[in-house]
Amino acid sequence: MARLIVWRLARTLVAVWALASLVFLLSYRDRNTATELALPDAADLRSRHNATNPAGQLATRQAIQHRLGLDRPLFYVSRLAASPPSGVQWHWNGRHNQYHRWAVQLLHGNMGTSFRTGQPVAARLREALAMTLPLTGTAALLAVLAALALAVRLAAAPWWQRPVRAALVAVHAMPLFVLALALLFVFANPEVLAWFPAYGLDQDTELSSGQWLATYLLHLVLPGATLALAALPELALQLEASLVQELHAGYVATARAKGLPENAIIRRHALRNALLPSLSQLAELLPALVAGALVVEVVFALPGMGRLLAEAAAARDYPVLVGGVLLVGVARLLALLLADLLYLWTDPRIRWQS
Amino acid sequence: MRLPNQAAIDANNLLHVSLLHTDITKAAFVPALAEALPAVQLVGDSLTRLTYSLRPAATWDDGQPVLAQDILFTLKLMFCPGLPNEAARNQYRFIRNILPDPANARRFVVECRGQAPEYVQASGDFFILPEHVLDPRGWLRRLSLAQLRNPPPGPAPDTALQAVAQRYRAETALGHLPGCGPYQLVKWEKDHYLSFRRKAHWWADLLRPAPLVLQARPRRLTYAVIPNAASATLALQRGELDLYPQMPAPEFARLQASPTARKKLTFHSTPSYDVVVAGFNTRHSTLADAPTRRALGQLFDAAGLLRATQLGSGQRTVGIISPSDSANYNDTLTPLPFSPEGGAALLRQAGWQQSNVPEPGWFRRGPNGARERLRLVLRYRAEEALFATIALQFQSVAAKLGIPVVLQPTEAGAFTMALHGGDFDMYVRTLRGNPFMFNFVPILHSLGVGEDNTTGFSTPGSDHLIEAIAAAGTKTRRAQLLRQFQALLQREMPLVPLFFLPNRVVVSRRLRGVYVGSIKPGYSVAAASPLASQPPN
pLDDT tens for A230-242 read 999 999 999 999 9
Say whether B339 sits in a helix, a strand or coil. coil
Structural element, H or E, at residue A218: helix A209-246
Decide if A32 touches B, using CB distance below 8 A.
Answer: yes
Q: What is the pLDDT of residue A52?
A: 57
Q: What is the pLDDT of residue B118?
A: 84
B519 min Cα distance to partner chain A (Å): 11
Phi/psi of residue B50, each to 5°? -115, 120
Vertex A36: Cα angle to A32 and A38 (nearest 5) = 120
A67 contacts in chain B (CB < 8 Å):
82, 84, 86
B260-307: per-residue pLDDT in tens? Answer: 999 999 999 999 999 999 999 999 999 999 999 999 999 999 999 999
When mean pLDDT is compared over A70-79, B180-189, B493-502, the highest value belongs to: B493-502
B438-463: per-residue pLDDT in tens? Answer: 888 889 999 888 888 999 999 999 99
Q: What is the pLDDT of residue A298?
A: 92
- Integer Cα distance of B89 and B76 in angstroms: 10
Q: Which domain holds residue A303?
A: 121-346
Work out the average pLDDT over A48-71: 78
B420-430: per-residue pLDDT in tens? Answer: 999 999 999 99
- Integer Cα distance of B436 and B119 in angstroms: 10
Work out the average pLDDT over B68-74: 96
Please list the alpha-helical segments (H only) found in B154-301: 159-174, 229-237, 249-257, 259-264, 290-297
Mean pLDDT for chain B? 91
Is a pLDDT exceeding 50 seen at residue A29? Answer: yes
Work out the average pLDDT over B355-370: 88
Decide if A78 touches B, using CB distance below 8 A.
Answer: no
What distance lies between CA B209 and its chain's CA centroid? 30
Question: For A220-229, B82-91, B215-224, B286-295, which range has the lowest pLDDT when averaged over its residues?
Answer: B82-91
The answer to whether residue A85 sits within a structural domain is no
Work out the average pLDDT over B72-80: 93
Strands B47-53 and B28-31: unpaired
Q: Out of B173, B187, B190, name the one closest to residue A205 (CB).
A: B187
Q: What is the pLDDT of residue A205?
A: 62
Would the CB atoms of A301 and B189 count as touching at under 8 Å? no
Would the CB atoms of A50 and B93 count as touching at under 8 Å? yes
The answer to whether residue A72 sits within a structural domain is no
pLDDT band at B57 (very low <50, low <70, confident <90, very high): very high
Work out the average pLDDT over A71-84: 84
- Integer Cα distance of A118 and A111 in angstroms: 12
SS (H, E, C) A101-114: HHHHHHHCCCCCEC
Say whether B426 sits in a helix, a strand or coil. strand
Question: What's the CATH number where A236 sits?
Answer: 1.10.3720.10
Please name which of B491, B427, B487, B490 lies closest in space to residue B454, comparing C-alpha atoms: B427
Is a pLDDT exceeding 80 seen at residue B234? Answer: yes
Is a pLDDT exceeding 80 seen at residue A264? Answer: yes
Q: What is the pLDDT of residue A290?
A: 83
Q: Out of B195, B231, B442, name the one closest to residue A52 (CB).
A: B442
Is a pLDDT exceeding 70 seen at residue B3? Answer: no
Q: What is the pLDDT of residue A353?
A: 72
A194 contacts in chain B (CB < 8 Å):
238
pLDDT band at A47 (very low <50, low <70, confident <90, very high): low
Question: For A158-167, A299-308, B183-192, B493-502, which range has the lowest pLDDT when averaged over its residues?
Answer: B183-192
Is a pLDDT exceeding 60 seen at residue A67? Answer: yes
Q: Out of A40, A45, A191, name the one closest to residue B260 (CB).
A: A191
A199 contacts in chain B (CB < 8 Å):
224, 226, 228, 231-232, 234-235, 240
Phi/psi of residue B27, each to 5°? 50, 45
pLDDT band at A57 (very low <50, low <70, confident <90, very high): confident
Is a pLDDT exceeding 80 seen at residue B131? Answer: yes
* Structural domains of chain A, count: 1
pLDDT band at A354 (very low <50, low <70, confident <90, very high): low
Query: Cβ contacts of residue B223 below 8 Å, gap of 6+?
Result: B7, B10, B11, B193, B194, B195
A148-179: per-residue pLDDT in tens? Answer: 999 999 988 889 999 999 999 999 999 999 99
The answer to whether residue A24 sits within a structural domain is no
A41 contacts in chain B (CB < 8 Å):
432
What are the C-alpha distances in Å from B257 to residues A37, B52, B246, B262, B508?
40, 50, 18, 8, 16
pLDDT band at B156 (very low <50, low <70, confident <90, very high): low
Work out the average pLDDT over B230-257: 94
The answer to whether residue A47 sits within a structural domain is no
Instruction: Say if residue A109 is exposed, middle or buried (CB neighbours under 10 Å; 0-12, 13-18, 19+).
Output: exposed
The answer to whether residue A311 sits within a structural domain is yes
Contact at 8 Å (CB) between B407 and B381? no
Q: Is the dihedral of CA B471, B473, B474, B480 positive or negative?
A: negative
The answer to whether residue A173 sits within a structural domain is yes
pLDDT band at B157 (very low <50, low <70, confident <90, very high): low
The answer to whether residue A93 sits within a structural domain is no
Say how many Å lie between the first and final Cα of chain A, rounded: 11
The answer to whether residue A104 sits within a structural domain is no
Is a pLDDT exceeding 70 seen at residue A50? Answer: no
Say whether A245 sits in a helix, a strand or coil. helix
